[in-house]
């Protein structure tokens, strides 16, 4: 419901900029006077039906959803006095040209950046964490979209946009190239980190059709996954160093894990008991919990009721390994809106006792 209300508000704001906003009230007043003419009734009906449909169908509040209404709006305004139209046209064109140039500079920076980091990403697996232009240009150069559950290895390169990234890697990262800020000189913004405009999406609770700002639109980061040397055979999620040993599937801030959580631990010599401590909340649906050591299931158990628990089993001998990958799997996940994560259970600790 909240997304629908934000969508309706954003589309209502964008509606007034289909033509120069100062002309819109006079265009509708003129349409009211000519309401008995078939041509006028057709144009007004087109606008009303399409706008109502946009409110019902869409959810992102993007200005592009209203493009089919631009022509009938312009046709209604065309009957206004020519002097008014000339002033409105000049103002609208000046604003449009400024926004177009600024927008070109924004997206062209992504293209130029993708070309410039060619030597950095050469002979590496490359991932891109972005949903818009940066992803397009990086995929042209062989990058793949970064997934939430993607298993990363040392040497991988991640190129990400601060404006639209969706994944928070839990691997150890180091800068592979300097961070680039996108800050066009024209003080207009369609969207940006330091703008209140939500031209492309109302998801950021930014409802203005454009913004007057010289702030940063985006920051592009290029990082390299570096090899980790875990110091702990048992990862207590409350310990400060726990985050450094999480590989994937675990959110260190609140200790929730998804259907699969992976950590890397120091292998003990000789091998000891492999153990996982957890808490299954009452609203969680997970019942079967399994422990895997380097992709091989070591033990599993089914719990009868939610609550705290522990699964422990003998670990196989590991004298030849310095580090070991431990994976915890659960059979079911659930969601708690508006949280969009797939939640399994709360992980308290895992590793060798």
Contacts by 203-209, CB closer than 8 A, 24 or more apart: 203/60, 205/6, 207/6, 207/9, 207/10, 207/13, 207/61, 208/13, 209/13, 209/14, 209/16, 209/17, 209/63
Distance CA 350, CA 246 (A): 11
Question: Given this model, what pLDDT does residue 319 score?
Answer: 56
Question: Given this model, what pLDDT does residue 41 score?
Answer: 93
- Which has the closest alpha carbon to 289: 309, 272, 274? 309
- Residues 244 and 185: beta-carbon distance below 8 Å: no
Question: Given this model, what pLDDT does residue 203 score?
Answer: 62
Q: Dihedral, CA atoms, 71, 72, 74, 78, nearest 10 degrees?
A: 130
If DSSP codes are grouped into helix, strand and coil, which group holds residue 54? helix
Distance CA 59, CA 241 (A): 41
- Domain chopping of the chain, boundaries: 2-80, 117-225, 234-352
Distance CA 248, CA 258 (A): 9
| Domain formed by 234-352, architecture | Sandwich (2.60)
Question: Given this model, what pLDDT does residue 204 score?
Answer: 58
Distance CA 116, CA 332 (A): 44
Question: Given this model, what pLDDT does residue 205 score?
Answer: 60
Residue carrying structure tokens 């060619």: 118
Question: Given this model, what pLDDT does residue 197 score?
Answer: 81
Q: Can you give the pLDDT of all 353 residues of the chain as single tens digits?
A: 677 787 788 888 888 888 899 999 999 999 999 989 999 999 999 999 999 998 888 877 788 888 899 999 999 999 899 999 999 999 999 999 999 999 999 999 999 999 999 999 999 999 999 988 999 999 999 999 998 878 888 899 999 999 888 888 877 788 999 999 999 999 999 888 888 886 766 665 677 888 888 899 999 999 999 887 788 899 999 988 888 888 888 988 899 999 999 898 888 777 689 999 999 999 999 999 999 987 789 999 999 999 999 999 988 776 556 788 899 999 999 998 888 889 999 999 999 98
């Amino acid at each position: 419901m909240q997304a629908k209300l934000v969508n309706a508000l954003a589309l209502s704001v964008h509606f007034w900029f289909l033509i120069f906003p100062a002309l819109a009230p006079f265009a509708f007043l003129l349409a009211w006077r000519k309401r008995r003419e078939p041509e006028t009734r057709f144009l007004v009906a087109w606008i009303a039906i399409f706008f109502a449909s946009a409110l019902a169908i869409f959810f992102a509040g993007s200005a592009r959803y209203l493009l089919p209404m631009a022509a009938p709006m312009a046709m209604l305004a065309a009957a206004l006095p020519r002097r008014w139209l000339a002033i409105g046209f000049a103002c609208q064109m000046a604003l449009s040209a400024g926004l177009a140039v600024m927008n070109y500079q924004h997206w062209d920076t992504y293209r130029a950046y993708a070309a410039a980091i060619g030597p950095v990403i050469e002979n590496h697996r490359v991932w891109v964490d972005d949903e818009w232009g940066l992803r397009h240009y990086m995929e042209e150069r062989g990058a793949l979209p970064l997934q939430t559950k993607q298993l990363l290895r040392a040497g991988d390169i991640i190129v990400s946009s601060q404006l639209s990234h969706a994944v928070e890697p839990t691997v150890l990262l180091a800068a592979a190239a300097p961070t680039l800020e996108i800050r066009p000189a024209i003080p207009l913004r369609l969207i940006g980190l330091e703008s209140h405009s939500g031209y492309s999406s109302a998801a950021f609770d930014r409802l203005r059709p454009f913004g007057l700002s010289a702030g940063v639109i985006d920051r592009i980061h290029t990082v390299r996954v570096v090899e980790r040397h875990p110091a702990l055979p048992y990862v207590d999620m409350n310990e400060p160093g726990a985050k450094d040993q999480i590989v994937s599937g675990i959110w260190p801030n609140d200790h929730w894990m998804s259907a699969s959580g992976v950590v890397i631990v120091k292998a003990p010599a000789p091998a000891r008991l492999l153990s996982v401590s957890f808490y299954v909340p009452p609203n969680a649906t997970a019942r079967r919990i399994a422990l895997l050591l380097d992709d091989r299931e070591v033990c599993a158990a089914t719990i009868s009721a939610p609550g705290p628990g522990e699964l422990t089993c003998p670990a196989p001998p590991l004298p030849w390994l310095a580090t070991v990958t431990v994976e915890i799997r659960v059979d079911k996940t659930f969601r708690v809106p508006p949280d969009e994560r797939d939640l399994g259970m709360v992980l308290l600790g895992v590793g060798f006792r």
